[in-house]
Amino acid sequence: MPLISFHLARADNGVIGVDGRLPWHLPADLRRFKAQTMGKPMIMGRKTFESFPAPLPGRRHIVLTRDAAWRAEGAEVAHSPAEALALAGPGEVAVIGGAEIFALFAPDRIELTEIHAAPPGDAIVPAFGVEWREVAREDFAEEAGRPAYSFVTLERVR
């Protein structure tokens, strides 16, 4: 079985997106995401894939969709979580969203950017429960009109 990691930015109110995009712009979060996912297969939903201007370089894009006819340049298509994991193969696989896709997988680790704000949004991920323990945290203050945020690593309690 591959090691499954979630990679997401989540506001204090659970919002991860609005109208197919992030409700904030945090360059440090984008750099962290790139560093953590580079060279890894990424599993995502169709809407997440279509939100990118082009496939992200240096990573495989495994797109989980119910649409049997859907195809896109740079996407490997899967129609079930098991099929997506089989395509990913051994090693670490990064699940990158959206909310419906996160609900389909049981990760081993979560790389979370906590956004200390409560923006409106239409994609929500509930808080992670007691089965998770925080193993790393870096806090950053509000700056240049950007909200305060924290980089947090969570591991499943075994």
pLDDT of residue 115: 98
Nearest-angstrom CA–CA distance, 57 and 42 = 12
Q: Which domains does the chain have, with CATH numbers?
A: 3-8+23-156 (3.40.430.10)
pLDDT of residue 58: 97
Task: Could you list the beta-strand ranges (E) of the chain.
Answer: 3-11, 15-17, 41-45, 60-64, 75-78, 92-97, 109-115, 123-124, 132-140, 149-156
pLDDT of residue 158: 79
pLDDT of residue 90: 95
Q: pTM of the full predicted structure?
A: 0.95
Nearest-angstrom CA–CA distance, 117 and 134 = 20
- pLDDT tens for the 158 residues of the chain, in order: 789 999 999 999 999 999 989 999 999 999 999 999 999 999 999 999 999 999 999 999 999 999 999 999 999 999 999 999 999 999 999 999 999 999 999 999 999 999 999 999 999 999 999 999 999 999 999 999 999 999 999 999 97
